């Protein structure tokens, strides 16, 4: 498809130099967030991605296994909810070769035209290109797509509880009474009330 341009290289460096509002979609299939890859799960990287996306643009980002790394998923969800004002969802799929047999991913949309990740605009079974090439889709279908967003009870509770707590703390920080500072005349004492 001539509309697609594939860039292979250092994503951080590439996105830092990308013009603002250029891309419809960015897909990040990164290595695990340890060592040099740690920056790929931190706020500056997600801010860089958001800047490079057009309004309503979407990000699909590797987001670890809910069975092994809930704390990383919690942090990524919190950062992405702060960064992407359209929508943010955690989903997962089976990958038998991965530890725990599953991998998760975040689907995020910038503010702009609404993006409904849960219900695709086009039926998956009629994906253009695959049918024309005579290829059957052997695994993925509309039901599998919807199921990807259904989390086991433990994961749903942990992720919702963490994100609710973080969002409540951020809300309290922005709506809290401003700190009143009193400097006593002829004194070096500073009091706060």
Residues annotated as catalytic are 29
Is the CB of residue 109 less than 8 Å from the CB of residue 57? yes
DSSP structural state of residue 132: T
- Closest C-alpha to 70, from 193, 151, 159: 159
Return the structure tokens found at 55.
Answer: 């309004």
Mapped onto helix, strand or coil, the DSSP state of residue 47 is helix
**Cα–Cα distance between 176 and 116 in angstroms, integer?**
34
If one counts every other C-beta atom within 10 angstroms of the C-beta of residue 107, the result is 21
- Closest C-alpha to 107, from 126, 68, 81, 139: 81
């Amino acid at each position: 498809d001539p509309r697609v341009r594939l860039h292979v290289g250092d994503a951080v460096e590439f996105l830092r130099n990308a013009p603002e509002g250029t891309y419809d979609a960015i897909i990040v299939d990164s290595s695990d967030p340890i060592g040099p890859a740690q920056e790929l799960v931190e706020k500056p990287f997600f801010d860089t991605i958001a800047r490079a996306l057009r309004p309503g643009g979407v990000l699909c980002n590797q987001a670890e296994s809910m069975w092994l790394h809930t704390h990383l998923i919690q942090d990524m969800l919190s950062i992405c909810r702060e960064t992407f004002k359209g929508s943010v969802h955690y989903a997962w799929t089976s990958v038998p070769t991965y530890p725990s047999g599953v991998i998760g991913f975040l689907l995020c949309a910038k503010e702009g035209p609404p993006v409904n990740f849960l219900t695709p605009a086009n039926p998956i079974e009629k994906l253009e290109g695959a049918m024309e090439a005579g290829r059957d889709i052997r695994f993925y279908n509309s039901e599998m797509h919807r199921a990807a967003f259904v989390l086991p009870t433990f994961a749903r509770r942990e992720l919702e509880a963490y994100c609710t707590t973080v969002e409540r703390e951020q809300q309290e920080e922005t709506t809290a009474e401003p700190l009143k500072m009193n400097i006593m005349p002829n004194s070096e004492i500073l009091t706060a009330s």
